[in-house]
Chain A
Amino acid sequence: MELVSFDWWLFCMRWLHILCGVMWIGHLWYFNFTQTPTMPKIPTELRPGVAKYILPEALFWFRWGAMGTIIFGLILAGMNGYLGSAIKLGIGDHSTHNTTIGFGMWLGTIMWFNVWFIIWPNQKKNIGIVQATPDEVRKAARTAGLTSRINTLLSIPMLYCMAGVHFY
């Protein structure tokens, strides 16, 4: 395999897609498996340490991980020649591979939308980047938290499709 060959670039896009995906889903699972369940157990005076220092940093890598994942994923699908077929879930193409990757891509795209257009705008109120009343902050934190849980739920079938596509 030559360094400048199409196959190498194809592999490179897949590698970058996976790197960004681990960054994204790693942080998603950190929020849902570790941070959120642990917060009520942390003494009140220590909680601002998480909210002011860890959360903004984690949200940065979380949302840009999501952006990198979708960009490299779309490039990868385009280079592989199945982007159009996957978008229409392989309907009419009789390709289990394209239907599977299509479901994975749609689930991932919904999750990316949730990150950038629901979780991040609400977290900006929660961490104080956008000014809001205490009631608005409480609602924003609730909306961001529930949407994060929806993404955790969706990540399970999404990863089945992404990893399982090589089975078909």
Chain B
Amino acid sequence: MKNPLDSLGQTITLGVVLTIVVILLIHAIA
């Protein structure tokens, strides 16, 4: 199976998804 990190597009998409997760965590904690 190909590693998604080999694709720059998928890396950026995962980065955006992680950003949304972080925003939700910030609002859940604070």
**A157 touching B15 in the complex, CB below 8 Å, given contacts A32-B8, A146-B3, A146-B5:** yes
Cβ contact within 8 Å between A160 and B5 = no
Q: Does A152 contact B (CB under 8 A)?
A: yes
When distances are taken between beta carbons in the complex, the residues of chain B under 8 Å from A122 are none
User: For residues 2 through 24 of chain B, which have their beta carbon under 8 Å from a beta carbon of chain A?
Assistant: 3, 5-6, 8, 11-12, 14-16, 18-19, 21-23
Q: Nearest B residue to A103 by beta-carbon distance?
A: B22
When distances are taken between beta carbons in the complex, the residues of chain A under 8 Å from B27 are 96
Closest beta carbon of chain B to A114's beta carbon, Å:
13
Contact of B11 among A100, A103, A153 (CB under 8 A): A153
Query: In whole angstroms, what is the CA distance A161 to B27 when docked?
Result: 12
Give the interface size class of chain B: 10 to 19
When distances are taken between beta carbons in the complex, the residues of chain B under 8 Å from A150 are 5
Interface centre among A33, A107, A152 (most CB of B within 10 A): A152
Q: Nearest A residue to B5 by beta-carbon distance?
A: A149
Query: In whole angstroms, what is the CA distance A35 to B23 when docked?
Result: 31
When distances are taken between beta carbons in the complex, the residues of chain A under 8 Å from B11 are 32, 149, 152-153
Cβ contact within 8 Å between A154 and B18 = yes
Q: Does B26 contact A (CB under 8 A)?
A: yes
User: For residues 123 through 168 of chain A, which have their beta carbon under 8 Å from a beta carbon of chain B?
Assistant: 146, 149-150, 152-157, 160-161
Cβ contact within 8 Å between B15 and A153 = yes
Q: Nearest A residue to B29 by beta-carbon distance?
A: A99
Q: Does B25 contact A (CB under 8 A)?
A: yes
Q: Does B1 contact A (CB under 8 A)?
A: no
Contact surface of A with B, Cβ cutoff 8 Å: 32-33, 37, 89-91, 94-96, 98-100, 103, 107, 146, 149-150, 152-157, 160-161
Contact surface of B with A, Cβ cutoff 8 Å: 3, 5-6, 8, 11-12, 14-16, 18-19, 21-23, 25-27, 29-30
